[in-house]
Amino acid sequence: MKMNTQTHVNSHKQTMAVPNFEVWKNAFVKLLPQHAIKNPVMAIVWLGTVVTAISTVLGYTTLLFGFAVTAILFITILFANYAEAVAEARGRGQASSLRAARENLTARRLNSLTDRQATQVAATELHLNDFIEVHAGELVPADGEIVEGFATINESAVTGESAPVLREAGTDRSGVIGGTKVLTDRIVVQVTAESGQSFLDRMIALVEGSNRQKTPNEIALGFLLMVMTITFLIVVISLPFIAKYLHIELDPVVLVALLVCLIPTTIGGLLPAIGIAGMNRALKANVLAKSGKAVEVAGDIDVLLLDKTGTITYGDRQATSFYPLTSVTESELRAAAWVSSLADPTPEGKSIVKLAKEQGLKQQEPEQAEFISFSASTRISGVNLPNGDQIRKGALDAILKFVDEDYSQDLELKARVEQVAKKGATPLVVTNQHHVLGVIELSDVIKHGIKERFARLREMGIKTVMVTGDNPLTAAAIAAEAGVDDYIAEAKPEDKLACIRTEQQQGRLVAMVGDGTNDAPALAQADIGLAMNSGTQAAKEAGNMVDLDSDPTKLLAVVEIGKQQLITRGALTTFSLANDVSKYFAILPALFAAAIPQMQVLNVMHLASPNSAILSALIFNAIIIPLLIPIALRGVKFKPSTATQLLRRNMLIYGVGGVVLPFIAIKAIDVVIVQLFGL
């Protein structure tokens, strides 16, 4: 039975070329009233366009002027729709590639784990807890957990990473995703998601925007814009009465044009695109954010909880030396370390076995022995031998609990542990029953550039906390070398949860990384829980983000993406409101300066006529939206710094710039209009 093994192109690593025709088509579809009403600011512009069109037809204004205003308002709405359509098109391009990863899949469904009778069914017919068998060369038909076997899997259809990854039953790397390809061996998978609710289904829905909900900040800003729009609407409605008193005629087209120029149409038109682009930027970094809220919360994070292994260090701690205590030979320690590590499947445990053999150990694996597997909660592995020996290897505090606490006063043991710890290495203690034999040295390397990244986070006011199972001496040495602000030594999984709750009780937002089932409670509790794609299904369900590359350091990039999202929205809002100030000085003095001589002092732009002033401001109002689309989609350039420095920079560039640019542009447009049309 051969399944579909088509090669898929990863959408996250390649730019999806979406035809411009499709984007413009979508922009025109969004002109329909049911879409326009979703954006209060642009809904006012939409209604204004209808009013100006009717007023022009009924002869309330000159035909040329009325037609020009109506056309410019129509183009303004179209440009705003185009901004949103471009952002959505990127998502649809990514979604089409993801969707290809699951087309025409079939599955080999087993009756049960004991009954190996298999039935071939379509992947869409699979249900929760079904057992399926997948062989080398076949695609995994559904999300699930490996319950039997191991295999190397190509996940490039989802993650874009061409290097195969190992997935194995009974480990924290047992999760598989529908649409990925098994390269070697055979696995039995228990389905963990109903059809239509898989990881790929959720990714497709998210990148297409169908599940995008407005974030709290987006809702608050939308409410502010709506209040401002209503305020200006009231002002404009009252103007005809003031104009009548001053013996000035204001036709409906002029009033609508004035309203559109005063309300914050720039940010109103770009706001949906900014929200969609934030999630797209996260996805471009191969991070699946389950909501736009998660991306924004990342920008407000106060505390980062980081595992030492794999995040701060390279995570490939290797045994490098054995240090026996007095009266113990190195060969005795080597043999005990070897046998106590046989039930330790971690890379560290395997490296101890390897080092012992490299140093000449030639013992055979003991028969009729009771092996004690390593676990994150006990932090011990070992073996009970038929002769009564109870050999254990593990962290210092865990071993001291196993033997006799009096060993905590053993000066030689203390000296050996400190000797290893002060080098930033990890000491593991080996014991036989209640007799400590010596210390194993595990060495790791701090990741290049990590200290500089922590310094950047500190500039942004973010506290970093390293979590490690190492003893306090090792933890302190690595924390100092890496430049983290604080550390938790000899940590157990429940300590992460306690730390998160403590920080949150003090009003701080906390982010953390996890991949195991034991990380799930902490991932769910954290404000940002970044789960590794290579981790268990429980971890991925608990987190509100999933890193498809399974790179723990990605949390630092996620924070910067969140910061950039907040800064982009703030900068463009500042620019939009500053624009309104300039447009106020362009239109109102031109309309009323003749009747109110005192307003001449405000007529700093000296535009040719009221009509040319209105058209110039409207044209600028329209063309600034497409000019800002690249910034809305790409994000404002982000440089780590304090909140005060960021505010000062944005006020200078987007505040002052937002006032100055319209003055220059509107005056230039006015000159062109006068030259072309003589208005």
Distance of CA 290 to the CA centre of its chain: 9
Give the CA distances from residue 54 to residues 60, 128, 260, 276, in Å, rounded to whole numbers and listed in that order: 9, 58, 17, 35
- For 495-533, b where at least 16 C-beta lie within 10 A, e where not — what string? ebbebbeebbeeebbbbbbbbbbbbbbbbbbbbbbbbbb
Q: Are residues 65 and 127 in the same domain?
A: no
Question: Domain limits at 79?
Answer: 20-92+208-282+561-677
381 annotated binding-site participant: yes
Is 258:614 a contact under the CB 8 Å cutoff?
Answer: yes
Tokens representing 90 are: 């990127």
Evaluate whether residue 149 is within a structural domain. Answer: yes
Q: Is 96 known to sit in a ligand binding site? A: no
Write down which residue in 427, 443, 459 finishes a domain: 443
Q: Is 376 annotated as a binding residue?
A: yes
* Within-domain flag for 202: no
Residue at 308: amino acid letter: K
Length of the chain: 679
Looking at the fold, whether 212 and 88 belong to one and the same domain comes out as: yes
Question: Looking at the 3D structure of the chain, how many domains does it have?
Answer: 4
The reply, when asked if residue 410 is annotated as ligand binding, is no
Of 237, 229, 202, 5, the residue nearest 100 (C-alpha): 5
Which residue's entry shows tokens 């330790």? 344
Are residue 524 and residue 542 in the same domain, yes or no? yes
380 labelled as ligand-binding?
yes
- Residue 582 annotated as part of some ligand binding site: no
Is the same domain home to 79 and 212?
yes
Question: Which has the closest alpha carbon to 382: 369, 392, 368, 397?
Answer: 392
> Beta strand 181-182 with 287-289: parallel, antiparallel or unpaired?
unpaired
Please report where in the chains the tokens 């306690």 appear, as a residue.
498
Question: Is 293 a member of any domain?
Answer: no
* Phi then psi dihedrals of residue 172, to 5 deg: -75, 0
Q: Is 307 a catalytic residue?
A: yes
Q: Are residues 481 and 425 in the same domain?
A: no
Is there a binding annotation on residue 515?
Answer: yes
pLDDT along the chain (679 residues), means of 10: 36 46 88 87 93 92 91 95 84 61 76 83 89 91 90 76 77 81 90 79 63 69 86 87 80 90 89 82 82 82 86 80 91 93 85 92 86 81 90 88 68 88 87 90 84 86 87 87 90 85 92 82 90 78 84 84 89 91 82 70 78 91 93 83 79 91 92 82
Instruction: Report the amino acid identity of residue 231.
Output: T
How far is the C-alpha of 516 from the C-alpha of 538, rounded, in Å? 8
Q: What is the pTM of this model?
A: 0.69
Q: If you search the block for the tokens 């005192």, which residue do you land on? A: 598
- Check whether residue 327 and residue 436 sit in a common domain: yes
Question: Of 140, 135, 101, 139, whose CA–CA distance to 10 is shortest?
Answer: 101
Indicate if 218 and 364 belong to the same structural domain.
no
Choosing from 197, 228, 250, the residue where a domain stops is: 197
Sign of the four-CA dihedral 651, 654, 659, 660: positive
CA 80 to chain centre: 26
The verdict on 328 and 398 lying in the same domain is yes
| CATH number of 379's domain | 3.40.1110.10
| Residue 144, in any domain of the structure | yes
Q: Considering 143, 201, 251, 307, which one is annotated as catalytic?
A: 307
Query: Looking at residue 178, which CATH number applies to its domain?
Result: 2.70.150.10
Residue written as tokens 């009003």? Answer: 507
Three-class SS string for 472-520? HHHHHHHHHHHCCCEEECCCCHHHHHHHHHHHHHCCCCEEEEECCHHHH
Backbone angles phi, psi at 356, to 5 degrees: -60, -40
Within 8 A by CB and 6+ apart from 534, the residues are: 165, 167, 172, 173, 175, 515, 550
Q: Is 378 part of any known ligand binding site?
A: yes
Does 484 share its domain with 404? Answer: no
The DSSP code for 61 is: S
The answer to whether residue 396 is domain-embedded is yes
Find where tokens 């399926």 sit: 132
Please choose, from the candidates 491, 358, 481, 476, the residue with its C-alpha nearest in 3D space to the C-alpha of residue 417.
Answer: 476
* One domain, residues 212 and 85: yes
For residues 376 and 437, state if they share a domain: yes
Sheet with 380-384, strands from edge to edge, namely 318-324, 435-443, 426-432, 390-394, 380-384, 370-372
Collapsed DSSP state (helix, strand, coil) of residue 536: coil
Q: How many CB atoms lie within 10 A of CB 387?
A: 7
CB neighbour list of residue 616: distance below 8 Å, 6 or more residues apart:
586, 607, 666, 667, 669, 670, 673
CATH number of the domain encompassing residue 521: 3.40.50.1000
Long-range contacts of 70-76 (CB under 8 A, 24+ apart): 70/253, 72/615, 72/618, 72/619, 72/621, 72/622, 73/45, 73/48, 73/49, 73/256, 73/257, 73/260, 73/618, 74/49, 75/622, 76/45, 76/260, 76/265, 76/269, 76/618, 76/621, 76/622, 76/625
The DSSP secondary structure of 562-594, one letter per residue, reads HHHHHHHHHHHHHHHHHHHHHHHHHHHHHHHTT
Burial environment of residue 475 by CB neighbours within 10 A (0 to 12, 13 to 18, 19 or more):
buried
Residue 666 lies in a domain: yes
* Strand 486-488 with 463-467, pairing: parallel
253/248 Cα distance (integer angstroms) = 14
Q: How far is CA 286 from CA 73, 144, 258, in A?
A: 39, 21, 45
User: Both 86 and 157 in a single domain?
Assistant: no
**Would you say 393 is a known binding-site residue?**
yes
With CA atoms as reference, report the closest residue to 616 among 51, 250, 68: 68
Q: CA-to-CA distance for 474 and 330, rounded, in angstroms?
A: 23
Task: Identify which of 438, 461, 102 has the alpha carbon closest to the alpha carbon of residue 302.
Answer: 461
**Of 172, 197, 222, which closes a domain?**
197
Q: 203 lies in a domain?
A: no
Does 145 map to a domain? yes
